[in-house]
Structure 1
Amino acid sequence: MNNLPDETKKRFVAVLNKKMDVGRTVNVLGHMSVGLSNLLTPDDAVYVDYTDRDNNIYSGVSHYPFIVLKADNSNKIRKVREEAITRGITFTVFVDTMIVGGSIVQQSKTRETPELDLNYLGICLFGETEVIREITKKFSLYG
């Protein structure tokens, strides 16, 4: 009936700085998720539609798992970013300079800030499950 790939082969993983309040956390996760989906090709991720018994359709739900983890601090997220770059993993990040003002102000503030001075609030990755697990195994589930 369906020709879906094995859903255990790939995954989305977000690692969020646990020092944020709930509102900021949800905002950061939303921004990173939308940004990451924009970086993916149609061959990367797989989305499925669900239909209930009344024929209502719930479209575009990820076939692959989306796991949300927490990090103790910015430096732990920085290390995940470095590892993602090294391994060629598709990712997006959100840093503290992306909070105040509109995107033009945020871009300017980010451009003026050395990387080591950035406070990483989150990273969102997509890729092969085993590779992602290797660099995120030290984090616990968010909750």
Structure 2
Amino acid sequence: MFEDNDYKLYVIVNRNVDVATQMNATGHLCSGIMLKAADPCFNTYTNGDSALTAYLNHYPVIILQAKNSNQLSAAAQQCQEENILYNFFTTTMLSHSSEQQIQDTHATPLAELDFVAIAIYGETSKIKPITKKFSVLK
């Protein structure tokens, strides 16, 4: 088991959405949530032979799956209520321009948003009550 588990980054995807859209959402969510993190912790991995360098989160990144959009919506709302760092991705974020996506997301009632994925980052003990109902993506 990985030793540094004080914090975790969870990405929870809607299992009913195609893999390409899940992957797109995951990339956006991870980059966006780390911009909001108060004290992001990254490690530098350098290959001694080539000097290629990668920067990875110090803490585990875990991909889970939700049964549907409603589960993701409820989890995001719970994070908001409990002041837990979260990020979300809905199908309104899939149109031809960022401006249109922003407008569509703002104008769509919460009950009509189709959630593709959410990301949750924080102290494991605080976020576990939210993430425990989801299963590992296989």
Give the TM-score normalised by the residue count of structure 1.
Answer: 0.88
Shift of 1:130: 1.4
**Aligned partner of 2:135: which letter?**
S
**Aligned with residue 66 of structure 1, among 61, 64, 67:** 61
Shift of 1:111: 1.8
Shift of 1:55: 6.2
Shift of 1:45: 1.9
Pair 1:52 & 2:47 matched: yes
**Aligned with residue 27 of structure 2, among 27, 30, 37:** 30
**Aligned with residue 108 of structure 2, among 113, 118, 121:** 113
Identity in percent: 30
**Aligned with residue 16 of structure 2, among 3, 15, 19:** 19
Q: Which stretches in structure 2 are left out of the alignment for 5+ residues?
A: none
- Within 1, Cα distance between the matches of 2:61 and 2:48? 26
Pair 1:53–1:106, CA change in 2 (3 A): closer
- What do the CA deviations read for 1:8-66 (whole angstroms, capped 9, x no partner)? 1101001100011111110010111111111123xx22111123342625332111000
Give the TM-score normalised by the residue count of structure 2.
Answer: 0.91
SS in 2 for 1:13: strand
SS in 1 for 2:100: helix
- Within 1, Cα distance between the matches of 2:8 and 2:34? 12
In structure 2, the partner of 1:127 is 122
Q: Which stretches in structure 1 are left out of the alignment for 5+ residues?
A: 1-5
**Aligned with residue 80 of structure 1, among 75, 89, 107:** 75
| Superposition CA RMSD, Å | 1.5
**Aligned with residue 90 of structure 2, among 95, 99, 121:** 95
SS in 2 for 1:88: coil
- Within 1, Cα distance between the matches of 2:63 and 2:26? 9
- Within 1, Cα distance between the matches of 2:116 and 2:129? 21
Q: Is the 8 A contact 1:45 1:64 kept in 2?
A: no
